Amino acid sequence: MVAAAARARPFPLCTGIATVVRRRALTPRMARFTLQAPAFAELGVEQPGEILTLGWCDAGEELALPERGWRFPRGRPEQHWRNFTVRAHRPEAMEVDVDFFLHGDLGRAAAWAARAMPGETAGFAGPRLHWLPDLDAAWTLLAADETGLPALLAILETLPPGHRTIALAEIQDDDERQAVDCAADLDLRWLSRGGRPPGTTGVLADAVAALTPPPGPGQAWGGGEALAMRGVRDAVRAAGVRAARIDERPRVLEAPADARRRRVAGAAPQPSYPSTVRSSRSDAESGSSPNSSRPRRCRRRSQ
Ligand SMILES: Cc1cc2nc3c(=O)[nH]c(=O)nc-3n(C[C@H](O)[C@H](O)[C@H](O)COP(=O)(O)OP(=O)(O)OC[C@H]3O[C@@H](n4cnc5c(N)ncnc54)[C@H](O)[C@@H]3O)c2cc1C
């Protein structure tokens, strides 16, 4: 049985402009941004790791916020929107923590995160459910690379004491390990890519394939680079585990040479992906994919 939060919820519940009030390094490649906005007092977050979609505009533009159903005001195209995880929410302080994986300065989000300091702003729209606990599951398997790690760690913090849990966290190298707060019966494995980029190794899928699933019904959740997560999904299916959700981020590819020359210095180039592939319960299902810069038909959606 999946928790009652599975009921339909409009998206976005809240939109606005948030201000960075704090920034701190968690690891060499992970930075925590504390964002503040009056709407965060009643953001409507119900589950760990909910998605907040953050937006930026190019220099000289004004950011257009989406309306319900991911519609934009007439004549205002969608700008640069990317999905992030609500790592922590403090309604009383009107604050949300978002952890950014600093993967360079080619992407719009990463370029902003590389430079943004307190006082900077970003648009927001959300939240959206990402993880729903299956109350019948005897055990839980979580698998993620760095872009899924904030959700994985947030989920771990809420699992019940003693609940058998295997967490596989793929990281660039051992400097990316983070402190973990978890009351569950946790088997946490940090899987280093040995300095190689995300999506170029099979470490996560291999680790899932090598597992002997614990007895009883289990649930699996994952999030990370598309190629890596496809391997994870195959291994989870082969083990006969119910996949609560396994998200694929856009494939991490080398940007074209001309995009590299135009490295971000305020306004970001938008190198395009050959495709944006998502799982069956992903953003694509609900008619919108904020991580894609392709134009799309907007429609009202719910979770
Ligand atoms: C549900 C969901 C939750 C997410 N939560 C988080 C989160 O909490 N924290 C977080 O940091 N990200 C998270 N992401 C990923 C985030 O939405 C962006 O995809 C990511 O930040 C890259 O965006 P960008 O604008 O920097 O790069 P893009 O413009 O999307 O890509 C430009 C180029 O950057 C490079 N690139 C892109 N992504 C990566 C990567 N992961 N590693 C190395 N190089 C890369 C590639 O060369 C790519 O061609 C989440 C995604 C989803 C779908």
Residue whose CA is at the smallest distance from ligand 1 atom 52: 83
Indicate if 148 and 237 belong to the same structural domain.
yes
Indicate if 145 and 125 belong to the same structural domain.
no
pLDDT digits (tens, 9 = 90+) for 35-79: 999 999 999 999 999 999 999 999 899 999 998 888 898 888 789
Residue whose CA is at the smallest distance from ligand 1 atom 41: 147
Asked, for residue 267, whether it belongs to a domain, the answer is: no
Indicate if 32 and 75 belong to the same structural domain.
yes
Beta bridge partners of 191: 170
Ligand 1 site, residue 271, Cβ cutoff 6 A: yes
Asked, for residue 284, whether it belongs to a domain, the answer is: no
Indicate if 164 and 218 belong to the same structural domain.
yes
Asked, for residue 286, whether it belongs to a domain, the answer is: no
Ligand 1 site, residue 89, Cβ cutoff 6 A: no
CB atoms within 10 A of CB 246: 24
The more confidently predicted of residues 83 and 248 is 83
Ligand 1 site, residue 239, Cβ cutoff 6 A: no
At 8 the pLDDT is: 76
At 211 the pLDDT is: 92
CB atoms within 10 A of CB 69: 16
pLDDT band per the 50, 70, 90 thresholds, residue 250 = low
The CATH code of the domain that includes 237 is: 3.40.50.80
Average the pLDDT over each of 97-101, 178-182, 254-258, 274-278 and give the range with the smallest value: 274-278
pLDDT digits (tens, 9 = 90+) for 185-195: 999 999 999 99
Give the count of domains, the chain.
2
Cα 67 to middle of ligand 1, angstroms: 23
Indicate if 107 and 143 belong to the same structural domain.
no
Query: Which residue has 């899924």 as its token pair?
Result: 148
pLDDT band per the 50, 70, 90 thresholds, residue 260 = very low
Asked, for residue 283, whether it belongs to a domain, the answer is: no
Residue whose CA is at the smallest distance from ligand 1 atom 37: 252
Indicate if 64 and 119 belong to the same structural domain.
yes
The 3-state DSSP class for residue 226 equals helix
At 7 the pLDDT is: 59
DSSP string covering 80-122: EEEEEE--EEEGGGTEEEEEEE---SSSHHHHHHHH--TT-EE
Indicate if 145 and 122 belong to the same structural domain.
no
Asked, for residue 45, whether it belongs to a domain, the answer is: yes
Burial of 298 (0-12, 13-18, 19+ CB in 10 A): middle
Ligand 1 site, residue 222, Cβ cutoff 6 A: no
Residue type, 131: W
Q: Which ligand 1 atom minimizes the distance to the CA of 82?
A: 17
Asked, for residue 44, whether it belongs to a domain, the answer is: yes
At 140 the pLDDT is: 94
Cα 84 to middle of ligand 1, angstroms: 9
CB atoms within 10 A of CB 149: 26
Query: What's the rounded Cα separation, in Å, for the pair 253 and 92?
Result: 40
Indicate if 45 and 12 belong to the same structural domain.
yes
Half-sphere exposure of 46 (CA within 13 A, CB side): 16
Query: What's the rounded Cα separation, in Å, for the pair 234 and 215?
Result: 20
CB neighbour list of residue 272: distance below 8 Å, 6 or more residues apart: 293, 294
Total H helices, total E strands in the chain:
5, 12
Domain residues for the domain of 238 are 139-249
Pocket test for ligand 1, best of 32, 50, 52, 103 (most atoms within 8 A of CB): 103
Q: Is the peptide bond before 12 cis (omega within 30 degrees of 0)?
A: yes
Ligand 1 site, residue 269, Cβ cutoff 6 A: no
Ligand 1 site, residue 106, Cβ cutoff 6 A: yes
Asked, for residue 30, whether it belongs to a domain, the answer is: yes
Ligand 1 site, residue 107, Cβ cutoff 6 A: yes
Ligand 1 site, residue 277, Cβ cutoff 6 A: no
pLDDT of 253 above 70: no
At 42 the pLDDT is: 95
Ligand 1 site, residue 26, Cβ cutoff 6 A: no
**pLDDT > 70 fraction of the chain, expressed in percent and rounded:** 77
pLDDT band per the 50, 70, 90 thresholds, residue 244 = low
Cα 111 to middle of ligand 1, angstroms: 11
Asked, for residue 112, whether it belongs to a domain, the answer is: yes
pLDDT digits (tens, 9 = 90+) for 159-215: 999 999 999 999 999 999 999 999 999 999 999 999 998 888 999 999 999 998 899
